[in-house]
Structure 1
Amino acid sequence: MTGGTGDEGTRRPRSSRARRWRIAAIAAGSVLVAIAVAAALILSGTLWPNRVFAAGYPVRGIDVSSYQGSIDWPVLSKQDIDFAIVKATEGSSDVDERFAANWAGARESGLVVGAYHFLSFDSPGSTQAANVIRTVPAAPAALPPTVDVEFYGDYFAHPPSRQKVRGILDPLLAALERHYGRPAILYATADAYDRYLKGAYQRNPIWFRSVAVPPWVPDGRQWTFWQYSDRERLPGYRGDEAFVDMNAFAGSRRQLEDLARPPGQ
């Protein structure tokens, strides 16, 4: 039978479309809530994607500076970590105010310990090397010193040339190797590595920063240390910075100790 106005037939599609829109709106709202919750957990340090990938590297450690304030090394060293790399110097004259205490406390706690120098693009490599050498002891069973190569201040927007940085970095590394007897470790962000280290410094162990995704060094080189998180909270420190950086080592504890052993020992 074909009688009637057809009103019922036209109402049903409208009702169906409205239901679909409501369902889609609810689903979209749920996704936004989930994203907001995940973002909050990540920002708080509760959830960090790289933890899953870093779990494949059982030898892990921290890097700290004066921003972590006073550190209770007997407490911090028991947080399932094997090594600590502490800030020593920056540029040609700056010395981290907590270096001496952190160096002594970390070594006494039984961790494998190293020191790092923040590279300045504003002073000669020779004077920066002198700053490191007069600050960081050439101690037995210590990791080679690290040179931290990354952008800062106005250099994020206006990076110095590769030639300029090599002119600072090369004499610095040469002086450190002469004094400590081993090639220094090079720490770098992906951008800094790509601009300044790619294809060079093959004798220097690489410490690569990649806190959002698993590490991939731009030239395919194998990393030795991987900074996989900057949002960890561990018992044992109290300072202006609530978080501490976490790092993985690409090897066994024995291999880490071998890296800290001077040649001939």
Structure 2
Amino acid sequence: MHPRSKAVVAVAAATVVVALVAVLVVRGVLWPNRLAAARYEVRGVDVSSYQGAVDWPRLAAQDVDFAYVKATEGSGFVDDTFETNLRGAQEAGVLVGAYHFFSFESPGRAQAEHVIATVPAQDGLLPVAVDVEHYGEFFDDPPDPETIRAELRVLVATLREHYGVDPVIYATQAAYSRYVAGDFRDSPLWIRAVYLPPRVSDGREWTFWQYSHRDRLDGYDGEESFIDMNVFRGDLADLRLLRPGG
């Protein structure tokens, strides 16, 4: 075969391989971070109404140790599966906590009061998590960092006072760099890094890592066929110590 023909065949073969890998990643069959995440023994999910009805015993049987379930967003929205998911996870023996999606458009105090009105201060629950990420128009036009930090400080302080522990802060790497880095040191960090292991901009160690947003497990029937997967840095005893009273 002529050298040029060999090169053409090699390029074509490489293109086919890359395309096949891309398809497998899109379908959630392959995921870049799974090997790196496998070194951590405590594994969990986060869910919302997008996963529909969750069969928690079935989910727990797939090596799921903990879960965060969506409770609230902004100062008025409540996820309609929150109470069912919270109760179902507890009954299945899964360590569970609630998460709140932080709005750039609502005062921190109003958001905190909304969380407090929705999420019980219940023994055994993991600390409330606050999800800080860009959304909608704010991807292209992010709000002022100092304004957002000020509202986030109010939210965190109010939740700490009510629940007796610092809330967990979940953030994408971009949102972390803009709104969290260098601050909120007492809050456990939950970082989203779905293609490569986390590289936190201020060198801080993460406590939770969301390593995939396109996994598939058995046990839910919602409009979203994928589920977010996370690991915890530590063992189950360490995870239990995050709860109020340890």
CA distance in 2, matches of 1:146, 1:58: 21
- Aligned 1:1-265 pairs, distance under 5 A: 19-260=2-243, 262-263=244-245
Query: How far is the alpha carbon of 1:89 from its aligned partner?
Result: 0.1
Report the number of matched residues: 246
CA distance in 2, matches of 1:123, 1:231: 30
CA distance in 2, matches of 1:65, 1:24: 49
Query: How far is the alpha carbon of 1:167 from its aligned partner?
Result: 2.2
CA distance in 1, matches of 2:143, 2:23: 36
1:8 corresponds in structure 2 to none
For residues 62-83 of structure 1, what are the alpha-carbon distances to aligned partners after superposition, in whole Å with 9 as ceiling and x for unaligned? 0000000011111111110100
SS in 1 for 2:2: helix
CA distance in 2, matches of 1:102, 1:233: 18
Query: How far is the alpha carbon of 1:240 from its aligned partner?
Result: 0.6
Runs of 5+ in structure 2 lacking a partner?
none
Task: Indicate the structure (1 or 2) with the bigger Cα radius of gyration.
Answer: 1
CA distance in 2, matches of 1:153, 1:58: 35
For residues 136-169 of structure 1, what are the alpha-carbon distances to aligned partners after superposition, in whole Å with 9 as ceiling and x for unaligned? 1111111110000000110000000111101211
1:184 counterpart letter in structure 2? P
Runs of 5+ in structure 1 lacking a partner?
1-17
CA distance in 1, matches of 2:193, 2:178: 16
SS in 2 for 1:245: strand
Query: How far is the alpha carbon of 1:258 from its aligned partner?
Result: 1.1
TM-score with structure 1 setting the length: 0.91
Query: How far is the alpha carbon of 1:85 from its aligned partner?
Result: 0.2
Measured on the aligned residues, the alpha-carbon RMSD in Å equals: 0.9
CA distance in 1, matches of 2:117, 2:90: 19
1:7 corresponds in structure 2 to none
Give every structure 1 segment of 4 or more consecutive aligned residues whose post-TM-superposition deviation is greater than 3 Å. Answer: none
For residues 86-127 of structure 1, what are the alpha-carbon distances to aligned partners after superposition, in whole Å with 9 as ceiling and x for unaligned? 000000010001001001001111011011000001111111
TM-score with structure 2 setting the length: 0.98
CA distance in 1, matches of 2:114, 2:135: 20
